Structure 1
Amino acid sequence: MNQSMLGIIDATAQKEEIQDLTSNRSLAAVPIGGRYRLIDFVLSNMVNSGIQSVAIFPRYQYRSLMDHLGSGKEWDLNRKRDGLFFFPSSEKELLNGIGSFHQFRSNIDFFLRSKQKYVLITNSHTVCNIDYKKILERHLENQCDITQVNQKGKMLDMFILEKDLLIKLFSNKESGYRNIMDVVKDRNHNLTVCDYEHSGYVAVVDSISNYYSHSLSLLNPNIWKELFLRNRPIYTKVKDEAPTKYSKDAYVKNSLIANGAIIEGHVENCIVFRGVKIEKGTVVKNSIVMQKSVIKENSVLDNVILDKDVRVEPKTILIGKIAEPLVLKKGTVQGALMNS
Structure 2
Amino acid sequence: MKRRLLGVIDATTYHEDLEDLITHRSLAALPFGGRYRMIDFILSNMVNSGIRSVAIFPKQQYRSLMDHLGSGKNWDLNRKRDGLFFFPSPILENDQNKVGSFDHFAANMDYFYRSTQEYAIIANCYTVFNMNFKPLLDWHIRSGCDITELHHKDGQPMEIYLVKTSLLMKLIETRNETGYTCMKDVVRDIHHEYTVCHHVYDGYAVMIDSFQNYYSTSMEMLNPAVWKQLFLKDQPILTKVKDEPPSKYIKGSSVKNTMIANGCIINGTVENSIISRGVKIGKGSVIKNCIIMQKCQIEDNCYLDSVILDKDVKVQAGTQLTGTAQNPYVIRKGTKQGVLINS
Structure-to-structure mapping, 1:59-70, within 5 angstroms: 59-70=59-70
Choose the corresponding residue for 2:279, options 272, 276, 286.
276
Alignment match, 1:170: 172
- Aligned counterpart, 1:125: 126
Instruction: Give the 5 Å matches for 1:154-165.
Output: 154-165=156-167
Which residue number in structure 1 is paired with residue 341 of structure 2? Answer: 338
SS of equivalent residue, structure 1 residue 280: coil
Q: Which residue of 2 aligns with 1:73?
A: 73
1:173-212 aligned within 5 A = 173-212=176-215
**Matched-pair contact (CA < 8 Å) for 1:14–1:60:** no
Q: Tell me by how many angstroms 1:257 deviates.
A: 0.4
SS of 2:136 mapped into structure 1: helix
Aligned partner of residue 177 in structure 1, secondary structure: coil
SS of alignment partner, residue 44 of structure 1: helix
Correspondence 1:108 to 2:81: no
Supply the AA of the counterpart residue of 1:116.
Answer: Q
- Which amino acid is 2:70 matched to? G
Secondary structure at the aligned position of 2:218 is classed as helix
1:257-268 correspondence runs (5 A): 257-268=260-271
**In the alignment, is residue 223 of structure 1 matched against residue 235 of structure 2?**
no
Helix, strand or coil at the partner of 2:238: coil
Q: Which whole-Å CA distance do the structure 2 matches of 1:320 and 1:50 have between them?
A: 43
What are the equivalent positions in structure 2 for 1:14-25 lying under 5 Å apart? 14-25=14-25
How far apart are 1:309 and its partner, in Å? 0.3
Using the alignment, how far apart are the partners of 2:36 and 2:21 within structure 1?
A: 15
What amino acid maps onto 2:223 in structure 1? Answer: N
Q: Deviations over 1:154-193 (max 9, x none)?
A: 1001110000000000111111111111111111011001
Q: Hey, what's the Cα distance between the residues in 1 that align with 2:253 and 2:69?
A: 34
- TM superposition shift of 1:321: 1.4
Corresponding residue of 1:238: 241
Pairwise CA distance, 1:97 = 4.3
TM-fit CA distance, 1:339: 2.7
Q: 1:140 aligns to what?
A: 141
TM-score (norm 1): 0.98
* TM-score in terms of structure 2 length: 0.97
Looking at structure 2, the residues matched to 189 and 329 of structure 1 have their Cα atoms a distance apart, in angstroms, of 44
- Give 1:338 deviation, angstroms: 2.2
User: Which amino acid is the alignment partner of residue 147 of structure 1?
Assistant: T
In 1, Cα distance between the equivalents of 2:272 and 2:278?
18
Larger mean CA deviation between 42-51 and 147-156 belongs to 147-156
Report the CA distance between 1:32 and its aligned residue. 0.3
Work out the CA distance in 2 between the residues paired with 1:96 and 1:123. Answer: 17
Q: What one-letter code is carried by the residue in structure 1 that aligns with 2:266? A: I
Provide the alpha-carbon RMSD of the alignment: 1.0
Runs of 4+ in 1 over 3 A off after TM superposition: 95-99
Q: Distance in 1 between matches of 2:308 and 2:198?
A: 36
Q: Which amino acid aligns with 1:277?
A: K
Structure 1 residues 88-130: Cα deviation after superposition (integer angstroms, max 9, x where no partner): 011x32x564861001111111100000000000000001000
Gaps of 5+ in 1: none
Question: For 2:179 and 2:252, how far apart are their aligned partners in 1?
Answer: 63
Which amino acid is 2:103 matched to?
Answer: H
Query: How many residues are matched?
Result: 338
